[in-house]
Structure 1
């Protein structure tokens, strides 16, 4: 082993291009290998996907504007998309009428929901006069709290997904949605668990699969454990054990890493293509290089 290391060092000294080629190969190949591992081999491992995601029957995604559901949350909302027992719901707080095309964007959202497997009656796009699309207005947290409570009760929701406090893009409406959901969670400690999608700085947002490596660092111990050991009994919910499982604390319930496989990724693209009014040249690149189209890193809201 020592001989091989010395041999490599001598080669690098003689030909620096060897080191550059090796590093470039690692930079290109490592994210692809990690993607394949997380999107296929460990896609449902309880060390990476909390029990709440693996057992939820009625999932509610709460966003601010039409197209948020595909641009940011598609890996989350499409998780277990082949499970017929799962009912998905989308609550979009505004119609996105900032440019006066709210009616068009509402109809686009319905078509997007159809592509995502969300039933029309559970694809709700509000148009409340106090909650209009406006990048300079902070929405009422109390009103959002009230609306969330109504729809959680109406659809018997057992999992909520939404923005974190920075709102992914920093949009003030996104951040207000997060604050409103946080208020609901703080008032309903025995309500459904809620998870917030994590905001990353600009370069990481558009690093595509390349950002999967730093994203996986907080999960590295869990990934290693998943590779080396089988899930323990508290991580696996057996048939008929769902009710008792809810009473046990999930040791891996604090965060989730959801990675879309190729089939799910293209389903998300088809869903976004329904938002024709928002389909511009920059969005074409976004669909390719945005981390949020490929994977979601979420934290539990408390």
Structure 2
């Protein structure tokens, strides 16, 4: 009987959180999220990812927030995701997904370098990554970069290498006039808590008033499903389940890299 009560309570909280997000996010969360006024200034933002579909699986709350407020969002994908020999398909899927996320195709760059191939155990050279990322920063006058943290949400080695490549740009090439933010990797309970994680994420801006943490609630969660569905080669049952249950569909917590 106790287990039934617990399960019913969890389901109720999940549904309530989703209902609140869908109907009231723009108003109810505005005082808790993005309290740093600098984040509301128009900026040239570069999102650096490892594979096609990373943007839809992990970063849609940040993308939706930034594009809806007029920020110029550029996306740099550092591989075509050719681990299964579908790189040419996944490349087109990424362009389609970005259109769904209101990021124009001309603002998306996909790198297909022989030394940057998708796959576990594929080590990416951090200096090579830094050179590619720095070039994009220069071309597009970027003043804010968003990427993975050193765990990379799932622990994927390519995600982690992208993080270190961005850090190398920040530390070694004297790109100190840009802000770099990393997506915080949640523990497994928070990772699969869906919209419930919004309540926990609300605490971060309050507890970190030194402007080192920033949270983005997804004001258009349906867009996450639409974007991920464009990756038809990857849109299998367990990824559908992931997008439904993942907290990254509903909220992104970013930490500033100093």
Instruction: Provide TM-score, normalisation by structure 2.
Output: 0.87
Q: How does 1:112-131 map to 2 (within 5 A)?
A: 112-131=97-116
Structure 2 counterpart SS, 1:271: helix
Partner of 1:216: 202
Distance 1:135 1:69 in 2: 19
Name 1:81's counterpart in structure 2. Answer: 67
Within a 5 Å distance, the mapping from 1:142-161 to structure 2 comes to 142-161=127-146
Among 238, 242, 248, the residue aligned to 1:282: 238
For structure 2, the 5+ residue unaligned runs are none
* C-alpha distance after superposition, 1:217-249 (max 9, x if no partner): 434457xxxxxxxxxxxxxxxxxxxxxxxxxxx
Report the RMSD for the aligned CA atoms in angstroms: 2.7
Secondary structure of the 2:147 match is strand
1:201 to partner: Cα distance: 2.0
From 179, 182, 187, the counterpart of 1:201: 187
Asked if 1:190 is matched to 2:176, the reply is: yes
**Which residues of structure 1 form unaligned runs of 5+?**
1-15, 223-250
- Secondary structure of 2:120 counterpart: coil
Contact in 2 for aligned 1:56/1:159 (Cα 8 Å): no
Larger Rg belongs to: 1
- Counterpart-to-counterpart distance in 2, 1:144 and 1:138: 11
1:56–1:158 contact (8 Å) kept in structure 2: no
1:140 Cα offset (Å)? 0.7
Q: Residue 168 of structure 1 aligns to a residue in which SS?
A: coil
Shift, 1:31, TM fit: 4.1
| Structure 1 residues 147 and 45: CA distance shift in structure 2, 3 A | farther
The worse-fitting range, judged by mean Cα deviation, of 56-65 and 204-213 is: 204-213
Report the equivalent of 1:53. Answer: 39
TM-score, normalization by structure 1: 0.75
CA distance in 2, matches of 1:144, 1:167: 16
CA contact (8 A) 2:197 2:251 kept: no
Alignment check: 8 A CA contact 1:94 1:125 kept:
yes
Partner Cα distance (1:103, 1:282) in 2 = 23
